[in-house]
Chains A and B, each alone.
Chain A
Amino acid sequence: NAGVTQTPKFQVLKTGQSMTLQCAQDMNHEYMSWYRQDPGMGLRLIHYSVGAGITDQGEVPNGYNVSRSTTEDFPLRLLSAAPSQTSVYFCASSYSIKGEKLFFGSGTQLSVL
């Protein structure tokens, strides 16, 4: 059972480049989300989804897009990378939107130069 799979593990971008962070889960979870972790800031929610075709913004959505075409996949797109988006990104999923524990991916270390 793979759980939540994130790729890539590491990525270096130049300012202005675009890229997609991939996230897939094989647990048939309704709820999926993306967080960024910055030193001293904890984890902050970027976007989340409660099912295929349904997404919503979290605390820090600017500069990021998401879509949910299938239950399994929830990619995060950076349209024009900025140094402020240098961070560790975590994808997470859970059985439902309401108070269930999150299963986290292993994270993506992104550096924007």
Chain B
Amino acid sequence: AQKVTQAQTEISVVEKEDVTLDCVYETRDTTYYLFWYKQPPSGELVFLIRRNSFDEQNEISGRYSWNFQKSTSSFNFTITASQVVDSAVYFCALSEGRGSTLGRLYFGRGTQLTVWP
């Protein structure tokens, strides 16, 4: 079973629309870490955010915001007033904090976001 599920394979929006990328994770650990990475068309992987399991506060960084809900095992990412430069593949990832899987970062399959002018 996948530890990280990104159900949206592709999303298309028009510039200035808000868009939410969904991420659902699965773990039995009480200590874990969640991440979002961006992969623009150039191919590099860019770190966006890290959240540990003990910190459920939502975070806002400019036009980006993240909603972490342990009750639903979700860590969703919202882009407000999207721009063409936001077009990229976005990956959600999970790292467990202990046990035999310590050291492994599990990625979702990614969501391709296309923002049209």
Binding site for B on A (CB under 8 A): 31, 33, 35, 40-45, 48, 50, 56, 58-59, 88, 90, 92, 97-104, 106-107
Question: B108 contacts A42, CB within 8 Å?
Answer: yes
Q: A41-B109, A88-B43 are in contact. Are A99 and B103 (CB under 8 A)?
A: no
Binding site for A on B (CB under 8 A): 4, 6, 9, 32-33, 35, 43-45, 47, 50, 52, 91, 93, 95, 97, 102-110
Q: A104-B45, A106-B43 are in contact. Are A99 and B52 (CB under 8 A)?
A: yes
Nearest B-chain residue to A98, judged by Cβ: B97
Question: A45 contacts B105, CB within 8 Å?
Answer: yes
Nearest B-chain residue to A43, judged by Cβ: B107
Choice from B35, B102, B106 contacting A98 with Cβ under 8 Å: B102
Given contacts A56-B103, A102-B105, could you give 12 more A-B pairs where the C-beta distance is less than 8 Å? A40-B9, A42-B4, A42-B6, A42-B107, A45-B104, A98-B95, A99-B33, A99-B52, A101-B47, A102-B35, A106-B44, A107-B44
Question: B104 contacts A58, CB within 8 Å?
Answer: yes
Which chain A positions have C-beta within 8 A of B4? Answer: 42
CB distance from B30 to the nearest CB of A (A): 13
Which chain B positions have C-beta within 8 A of A88? Answer: 43
Q: How far apart are the CA atoms of A50 and B109 in the complex, in Å?
A: 25
Question: B103 contacts A48, CB within 8 Å?
Answer: yes
Q: How far apart are the CA atoms of A92 and B52 in the complex, in Å?
A: 20
Nearest B-chain residue to A103, judged by Cβ: B47
Choice from A44, A58, A97 contacting B102 with Cβ under 8 Å: A97
Question: B104 contacts A104, CB within 8 Å?
Answer: no
14 contacts between A and B (CB under 8 A): A31-B103, A40-B9, A40-B109, A43-B91, A45-B106, A58-B104, A59-B106, A88-B43, A98-B97, A98-B102, A99-B33, A101-B35, A104-B44, A106-B43
